[in-house]
Amino acid sequence: MADLKRLYRELVSLEIELWNGIEGRLRAEYDLPLTSFEVLHLLWSRPGRRIQDIAEEFSITVGGTSKVVDRLEAAGWCERRANPNDRRSSIVELTAEGRKLVDGAAKVFEEELELRIGSVIPEQSVRELASVLRTLRAAGRALDAERRAAGQAPAPAVRAPKQPGRSATP
C-alpha cells in the first residue's frame, strides 16, 4: 500500500522549502514578498483581472485578495479602475512601476525555479509531475464540491494554516 502520509509530508515540505527559498531571494533583491509577486505576476501575465478573478486563481478569499491588492496599490505597483462591463467591480492593473518591478522579479523567480527544480529533474519528469499534481488538485476540488452539494462540510477551501515564513494569502 502506498505511503500517502509520507507523500503528503514530502509535498508540504517541498512547497514550504520552495516558497521560503524563492521568497528569500525576492526579498533580498527586490524587498518583495512572494505573496505580492504572485499577484503582480498574474496581473502582468493576464491583465484586466478583477479581485474575484485573482481570488479564484489562488484559491483564497475575496477579502484576503482585496487586502493584498490594497497593499500593492499603496506601494504604487497596481491600481484599480472601473470595470466597464460591471459597475459593481473594478479591474486591477499594474502601474508602470509595477511592470518594471515584475520584469526584474520574474527573472529572479525563473532563475530560482531552474536552480531548485529544472536543474534537478529532467524536463519530462517536470511535465509528468505537473500533470499528476493537476490531477490531484482537480480531484480534491471535485471531492470538496461533491461534499458541499451533499451538505457535508469539507475542510476550509480557501484558508491554509499559516506556515513559518509564508503568509496565508498568495
pLDDT digits (tens, 9 = 90+) for 117-136: 999 999 999 999 999 999 99
Q: Can you give the pLDDT at residue 59?
A: 86
pLDDT digits (tens, 9 = 90+) for 62-77: 999 999 999 999 999 9
Helix (H, G, I), strand (E, B) or coil at 165: coil
Cell numbers representing residue 169 in the block: 494569502
Burial grade of 30 (CB within 10 A; 0-12, 13-18, 19 or more): middle
Question: What value does the mean pLDDT of the chain take?
Answer: 90
Q: Where does 31-168 have alpha helices with state H?
A: 34-45, 51-58, 62-74, 96-113, 123-149
* CA-wise closest residue to 170 among 61, 79, 74: 61
How much of the chain exceeds pLDDT 70, in percent?
90
Q: Can you give the pLDDT at residue 2?
A: 84
